[in-house]
Structure 1
Amino acid sequence: MGNVIVANTNLNHAKQISAVLRSAGIPVAAVCTTAAQLLRLMEYSRWGVVVCGVTLSEMPAIQQLRNMRADYLFLYIVRGLPPEALDDPCLVMPLNRGRLAACVHMLVQISESSGQALK
């Protein structure tokens, strides 16, 4: 299964999201709270999925797309309507556990197929 990273400014929220994914059988490689940590974690795998809020402590997550590797897919957790600049998949709070797990599972499958094509 692909590399799944949960990034959220609130460590408790990140851990809760990670626990939901793990209980659904989706292994989570790491949990982090800053963009710098996320960038470092992404260096360990060629592809994967990032589940994150729209902002992390150093920068808005939307800006991170310009800075991060294109072989990672993003699932944003948002409050209310997603920002217009966001073209990636989003889930609106409050989260439905089943929907969260299904979305991440689908993105992992897409990421793995893309990653296998890169080999």
Structure 2
Amino acid sequence: MVNIIVVFPKLEDAKNIRNLLARNGYSVIGVCCTGAQVLQITDNLEDGIVICGYRFNDMMYADLRESLASSFQMLLVASMHILESCDRRDIVSLPLPLRIGDLANTLEMMAAGMYRRRRRQKSQPKERSEAEKKVILDAKKLLMERNHMSEEEAHRYMQKCSMDSGNNMVETAKMIFALMKY
């Protein structure tokens, strides 16, 4: 599910867009008329899409984009005249008058990109801290000394134990220390 926030200077316009999105199967988690309200909502979210107009009661679209985390995407909805003069780097835009099909297709494209980014982030291995690397290295050394293993054998042994037990390598290394203390 994609977190969608709608922000326009007139609350009525924002509610109309929310209703339009709801009729097309999208769930809107926030309807706002100021950039500060958007920032308050996004503080509790990892990513999402902000659908907005050109100007709000407290800031411009560019100020909001700078304040948002990079994991958030912005869909700027404004007249063609305004869009031509905007700096739209890193911003998706749609001209007014807004067509429902264009809005739905654009949101679908943005959501697909967000899902791909999430999947890519999950598939990347997490970097271990220096302390975690040291725990693993020390466990390997202990296995090498006590069981007369090479470093490669100790590493493979720890990987197998880790996979068999469903624990990560750091937890496995800590278990090896606990078992070999005696």
On whether the aligned pair clears a TM of 0.5, the verdict is: yes
Are the equivalent residues in 2 in contact too, given 1:20–1:101 (CA < 8 A)? no
- Give the aligned CA root-mean-square deviation in angstroms: 1.4
Are the equivalent residues in 2 in contact too, given 1:79–1:92 (CA < 8 A)? yes
Residues 1:111 and 2:99 aligned together: no
Task: State the TM-score, normalizing by the size of structure 2.
Answer: 0.61
Residues 1:77 and 2:77 aligned together: yes
The 5-angstrom pairing of residues 1-119 of structure 1 reads 1-81=1-81, 82=83, 83-87=85-89, 88-119=91-122
1:106 positional shift: 1.5
Task: State the TM-score, normalizing by the size of structure 1.
Answer: 0.91
Aligned length: 119
Tell me how far apart the structure 2 counterparts of residues 112 and 33 of structure 1 sit (CA, whole Å): 28
1:118 positional shift: 3.7
Deviations 1:58-114 (A, max 9, x none): 111112222210100010001123133122111111110111111112212212322
Tell me how far apart the structure 2 counterparts of residues 18 and 42 of structure 1 sit (CA, whole Å): 17
Stretches of 4+ aligned residues off by more than 4 angstroms: none
Between Structure 1 and Structure 2, which shows a larger proportion of helix residues? 2
Tell me how far apart the structure 1 counterparts of residues 38 and 70 of structure 2 sit (CA, whole Å): 14
SS at 2:80 equivalent: coil
Between Structure 1 and Structure 2, which shows a larger proportion of strand residues? 1
Q: Which runs of 5+ in 1 are unaligned?
A: none
1:15 positional shift: 0.7
SS at 2:36 equivalent: helix
Q: Which runs of 5+ in 2 are unaligned?
A: 123-182
Larger relative contact order (CA 8 Å, sep ≥ 6): 1
Aligned-residue sequence identity (percent) comes to: 26
